[in-house]
Structure 1
Amino acid sequence: MFAITADQIDSRIRPDHADEALAILAHVGGDRLALPADRTAGDEVQALTEDPRTALDIVLALARTGLWSIGVGIGDVRAPLPTATRAATGDALVAAREAVEAAKRRQWRLAVAGDRIAPAAETLQAMIELLLQLRERRSPEGWELYDLVEAGLTQAEAAERLGITPQAASKRALAAAVRLDAAARDGIVELLALANGTDAGREPGTEDNA
């Protein structure tokens, strides 16, 4: 299981953004969350999912706001699950707590932890931080194109929507590293799945029909 714990940066001098974060978690996670995302304490929020792509999507969505220190814990969660995320217990939750505290001391405000995946956690950490660095350099115009492509438009359709030529869109996509972003996410999802002992290409909770 993946536990994502996010603690608001500079919460003492900023408005509380926990409700906004919960809305992001609900939108991104949808029915792929093990339980509804929850406020755990103060302005801290938490989510649980078995799906590695959902875990990464949540991390990237929260990181894009620039408001959160984000900890990803990978490990077991005690079953049966409670009715609320804040009541869940297990190794993944402990690791997420350790990770979010570590994240507060890191440049990209992101940390990955898990007792049984210590070497893999360092690799995942580096890969996600590289992706965050790539995204940090993306221009607002690059984000416009990226969001349209992610919504399902072709690059040509995105160009028409933005009122630019296909050639201009191609240059913008290259500068925004749109294809590299997608490839990096696929690779990170595979690493997350391996760390969690799941198959990145299979829906969580399903089994092979042997």
Structure 2
Amino acid sequence: MFVIIADQIGSSEDADRVAGALVDLTERFTDGYPLAPERTAGDELQAISADASVALETALHLLRSPHWRVGLGIGAVRTPLPASVREASGPAFASARAGIEQAARRPSRFAAVGAGGAGVRTEQLGALIDLLLAHRARWSPAGWQLHDLLESGSSQAEAAERLGVTPQAMSKRARAAGLRIDAEARRALAALLADLGATVEASTPEGALA
């Protein structure tokens, strides 16, 4: 299971962004959350998913904004799940808490932590996610605009027509942003995260969930 904790940066000097983020996440990934994401503190939210791709995309989506830091916890969660994510518990939540604490000290504003003996593999996966985040940090607003259109299901030709540019210009924009590389990297990272999650959960002693 995967737990995401996101903490709003500088919330004491900024507008509350948690409520809007919760609506956005629920609209985008609602089928991937067994429990609805919730505010768990004044400037913090939590989400949980058994789907590695949803967990990864949740973290990446939040990190598009400079207003968030994110911890991703990998591990087991006590079942049956309660009615609220605020009532859920297990090693994955402790790992996510450790992740958000580490994220506060990292330039990427992100850290992944695996429960049990998954430290080295989690560090390796986190380094690859940091690399993806660095790649995305160089995108122009036009690159993000095209990314969003393609992710919503539009073809590159449809996106070009919608934005009023030639297909050639659109192809150039996609190459400049490395959108194909980004999509392939996210698929690969989700697969690695899923494999790591299965390994961590399988190695969790039953007593850890008692």
Same fold (TM over 0.5): yes
Match of 1:94 in 2: 94
Match of 1:208 in 2: none
RCO greater where, 1 or 2, for CA within 8 Å and sep 6 or more?
2
Match of 1:201 in 2: none
Match of 1:140 in 2: 141
Match of 2:162 in 1: 161
Secondary structure class of the residue paired with 1:4: strand
- 1:145, distance to aligned residue in structure 2 (A): 1.3
Q: Which letter maps to 1:62?
A: L
Unaligned ranges ≥5, structure 1 = 199-210
Match of 2:198 in 1: 197
Q: Is 1:183 paired with 2:184?
A: yes
What pairs with 1:89-128 in structure 2 (closer than 5 Å)?
A: 89-116=89-116, 117-128=118-129
Unaligned ranges ≥5, structure 2 = 200-210
What pairs with 1:47-86 in structure 2 (closer than 5 Å)?
A: 47-86=47-86
Secondary structure class of the residue paired with 2:12: coil
Task: Give me the whole-angstrom Cα distance separating, in 2, the residues matched to 1:29 and 1:145.
Answer: 20
Q: Deviations over 1:64-109 (max 9, x none)?
A: 1221110000001111111110111100000000000100100010
What pairs with 1:19-58 in structure 2 (closer than 5 Å)?
A: 19-58=19-58
Task: Give me the whole-angstrom Cα distance separating, in 2, the residues matched to 1:27 and 1:197.
Answer: 27
Task: Give me the whole-angstrom Cα distance separating, in 2, the residues matched to 1:2 and 1:115.
Answer: 11
Task: Give me the whole-angstrom Cα distance separating, in 2, the residues matched to 1:27 and 1:109.
Answer: 24
> What TM-score, normalized to structure 1?
0.91
Q: Which letter maps to 1:154?
A: S
Secondary structure class of the residue paired with 2:165: coil
CA contact (8 A) 2:73 2:115 kept: no
Q: Which moved more, 1:18-27 or 1:162-171?
A: 18-27
Q: How many residues align?
A: 198
Q: Which moved more, 1:184-193 or 1:153-162?
A: 153-162
Task: Give me the whole-angstrom Cα distance separating, in 2, the residues matched to 1:136 and 1:45.
Answer: 23
Q: Deviations over 1:1-55 (max 9, x none)?
A: 0000001001111111110111122123212102011111111000000000100
Q: Percent identity?
A: 49
> What TM-score, normalized to structure 2?
0.91
CA contact (8 A) 2:112 2:126 kept: yes
CA contact (8 A) 1:25 1:47 kept: no
Task: Give me the whole-angstrom Cα distance separating, in 2, the residues matched to 1:40 and 1:143.
Answer: 30
Secondary structure class of the residue paired with 1:6: strand
